[in-house]
Structures are given as structure tokens and as C-alpha cells.
Structure 1
Amino acid sequence: MGSTDKETQVDSFFSNKTAKIFVAGHRGLVGSAIVRKLEEVGFTNLVLKTHQELDLTRQTDVEAFFALEKPHFVILSAAKVGGIHANNTYPADFIGINLQIQTNVIDASYRNGVKKLIFLGSSCIYPKFAPQPIQEDALLTGPLEPTNEWYAVAKIAGIKMCQAYRLQYGWDAISGMPTNLYGPNDNFHPQNSHVLPALIRRFHEAKVSDAKEVVVWGTGSPLREFLHVDDLADAVVFLMNKYSGLGHVNVGSGKEVTIKELAELVKEVVGFQGDLVWDSTKPDGTPRKLMDSSKLANLGWAPKISLRDGLVDSYKWYLENVKQ
């Protein structure tokens, strides 16, 4: 696509703030942040449906919804998500439900004249031993991490489906792949939350109970990348406005922290005064997982929220919204 094509895209997304935008999965961590961002920049016609109102796994229901609503734009952030334990326990759900949601929404969007769609995936689409930092072209170059391959295969299919509809129909479907996300509406469940919300909860509970120490698994040496979900939402709006291409786009902060640095920062933000103890008999997981987001940076986007500020924001949300 030439630059003129991209210029028309720029005009089309921001030129009409009353354009109807369907945000699929608007109650989740990602979807809720996207809704906040769209409202902040002045969009006034968002179509939002709860799972009870519209089950995206039911093809006939999705087709009827699109035929009735005829949205101009679609942001597909709805997905069945979970940690390692959930992926191992419910592999059929993770591949089946995600394939159903994506297939139904992408196909109905195309058939009902949606101007542009963005599909959101996850960094777990990449091979387990992909060279670091992980570039977009590492996709499908090696075996996946076995603990979440069901989810990863579904997400890869979503990327490929967007590409296929672009190739066959010339339809403007794009994909964004975020790194590890955190922020308001995160999952703070004691058993199946991800590392950052799990640490916030554990340090908070230790503070409240006057515990002497908090024990964290591993050595603290693995490197991880985190992006505040409001930065992701900003990137999604940026991509809807600026990007129209076949390849998917990594969305990361470009900054790594060790799990040890992360735990110490969470400890400080929460205000836990006890000791932080490392249980090195427990596994560390992948030593490093960083995405190369230079493609997005070259388009002109950069994250704005520092990890410290983001943690302060997340802890505040936790205190106000999670039952203590």
C-alpha cells in the first residue's frame, strides 16, 4: 500500500467522532482501557455488549448483531484468557472458544461493511526459543511454549485470518500483539493471576497482616517486559489511525526489569516493611522475554507511563476495587 492509502486511513478514523465503533470484550483489562481511550479522544458512538447480551461464540447471534448494528470500526479484544494452570486444565476451551470468537467477529465484520478491524493477540504467539528481542518475523519459526500453545494457536489463526481477508478481499484488517499488560481491571485472583497483580496482592496482604516476610518463587533473575494497559489503548487508537499493512505489529514498552527489581518496586509501592525472600528451589521460567517494538516506534508511537507510575495506579485501583 502506498502512502496515499495510509493518508486516507488517517482521515477516516479521526474525521468522524460519531462513527460507530464496536469494542468486543469491553469489560476486560484491555477492552475497558480502549473504551476509556476512545471516550477521552472524543468518540461518542461506542457499541458495547456484555457476554450475556451477545455471545460471540454463537455465529448466528454475531451475524444478527452485525446486520443490525453495522459498525464502522471493530476493535477485537474479546478472548478467553488465563495463566499456565488454566491453559493446561482447559485446552479445548482455550483453542475452541478463541477460534469461535475470532472467526465469527472477523467474518461478520467483513460481510457487513466494517471499514477497519484490529485484532489483538498476545506475545505468546512466538516460538518458545525465539531470538530476543522478538521481532514480528519470528512468528511460525519454531515450536511454541507447550503450556499455552492452545491459546497461541488460536491467536496465530486470528493474525492469519486478518491477513487472508486483506489478501483475498483487499479488506483493512490489522493485528496488534501486546506484551505483558497490567493496570485497572487486572485479574488479582489468588491462584490464577499473572506475576505483577499476584505480587501486588501478596505484598498488600502481608502488609495488612503484619507478616515478617514474603516468599517469592525462583531466583528473581528472569527478565520481563510490562506495558500499562492505558499505553496499549493509546497504541491501538494510533494503529487504527496510522497503520494499514499485512504484517502484525508488536506493542511493547521496550524496557525490561528483572523479577527481583519488579518485586522490590511492588514492595516499595505497597509499603510492605518486612523481608523479601527468594525460594530458589522453585522454577524461574523463561530467562528472558522481550518484544522488539521498533516497527511501531518507527511509525511514531512511544509509551508514556513509567513502571513505577503504572504500579502506583494499579495498586490504587486494587485498593478501591478488590475485596480486601
Structure 2
Amino acid sequence: MKEGQIPLANKQIAQHTHFNWMQARKKLKQNLFLLLLFFPPVVYFIVIKYIPMLGLIIAFKDYSFMDGVWGSPWVGLSNFETLFNTSQTLQIIRNTLLLSLLSVFVGFPFPIMLAILLSEVKKIWFRKSVQTLVFLPHFISWVVIGGMVLSIFSQDTGIVNYWIQQWTGSAFPFLYKEPSWIAIFVGSGIWKTAGWTAIIYLAALSTIDPSLYESASLDGAGKLRKIWHITLPGISSTIVLMFILSMGHVMEVGFDQVYVLQNPVISNVSEVISTYIYKVGLQGMQFSLTAAMGLFESIISLIMVLTANQIARKFGRGLW
């Protein structure tokens, strides 16, 4: 190598590094406002979501208030052994999976259908009125909605049983029969969440090129063919995304909904992980046992998300 080439190469590297640094500073200044907007959510997730995960350590300890998280003695997998040697635990997991899978697979198509129907409405005033009505339940507490459901299906004073009594002469115990209670549980969940979830699909529908519908009309395609060949493929990536995210909640049944609607008669199907953690963990003061249950729930949810994403990847729709 000739003399002077090494200093020249070092100078070029220094110039290149300086140029990259200037580019990075420029991009930082351009996106500073967006980064500031991004900062609060990051702090929220770190403080509210990730730091509390350290408390999962009590699943491997015999936790007590007096000793604290770090001072409580280690018991290894003893809490998990106790948990899964109890017949009630298996029943609770079965109930959680049953109610969650029914809510996911029965309720999943409703927001899609609702969004498609709303997008087909031409009268703006009518569409906005329907949107308001179907979005409204999302903002109502489950305590209120549960009270409404109990009032509607009550055996003594419910409006549904009032008409049934008029026709048949006897009331039907909707809230005290397992199949009908499950149907009411799933139906009330769909009614509360379908309108709000439909917003995501409406946003996805707005990205479809209108010229595709015009071309299909010229070819003589009807509404159903347009929906099947244009609308659904156009929002398929959003559908897959929402399905993968919903699979992450398979082991999570909302505490509010179950707790408001359940009663001792149908406890064989209504006792789920969230209510178990509340009754055994908070009321029964068995924090380590319920922490073990919560950790098990999270691991299964992670496995479900990874599995759903792996299946989606085979069709070119995976998240990662």
C-alpha cells in the first residue's frame, strides 16, 4: 500500500461518519414532535405493563404481606403443583376456554359484517345514526349492561319472559340454564363490542380503490360478488391482524361481564380464571396461588398468538 492511502481512507471514513451523524440529527429534528407524542405511551407501558411483571415472582414463593415480595421464602413449582392437582382448576380452565373461544369465533364475523353493511349505506344521516347507536354500548359500563341483560331475561320480571308467559303460560329460566346463559353471555359481548371494533374495519374499507367497484359493475357483478371478490380481499390483512390479536385474549374472559351475569346455579360454566383470581386471590388472600394461575394464563395466551401468527405466515399474512 502506498504512503498517504491510509490517512486518505481514514479521512473518508471520518467524512462518512460525520455525514451520517448530520443526517441522523436532521431526521431527529424533523421527527421530534412525533417522538414527543410517542413518549407518553412508552412510559405508560413500561410503568403500568412491564414493571408490574416483576410481581410474577410470587408465583414461585410462599408470599405474605409481612415478608414482602423479596423476603418471602421460595417454594419453586409448589404453587403450580397445588393448582393443577385440584379438579376445580381444570374446570375453570375449561370454562375460560369455552367462553373465550365462543366469543372469538362466534363474535369475530359480526364487526366485519357490520362495517360492510354500514359502508353500503348511501344515506349519510342514516349511516351516522346507526353508527352512533352501535358504537354507544362500548362506552357503557358492564355493570349497567349486565343490569339491563338481567332485567330483560329475568324469570319473574323480564320482558322476554313476559311475552313467553303470554304465549305459553310459563316462564323460561334463561339465566339459570347453562346453554341459554352461555348464549346470553356471548350475545351481550357481541352487542357491546361489535360496533366499536367495526371502526377498524371501516377505516380499512376506506383504503379500497373505488375504481375496482366501478369495473366490477361494468362487468355485471352484483353486491355479493363485489363484497366477496373486492371488499373481503381488500381488508383481509386487517382481518388477519385482528384475529391474531384476538387469539391473545383467548385465556382472558372479562371479569366484569362474567361477575355481573353469573349466579350459583350455573357456576359449573361461569367460573373462569378472572373470577377465580378475584375470589381466591383477593378474597381468600392466596396471592401466590393466583399469581401462578395468572402466569399460566399469560403463557397460554402467548402460545396462542405465536401459533396464530405462524399459521398466518403460511398464507403471507403474518405480523412478523
Compute the TM-score of the two structures, normalised by the length of structure 1. 0.22
Compute the TM-score of the two structures, normalised by the length of structure 2. 0.23
Q: Which structure has more helix as a fraction of its residues?
A: 2
Structure with the larger RCO, 1 or 2 (CA within 8 Å, 6+ apart): 2
Q: Which structure has more strand as a fraction of its residues?
A: 1
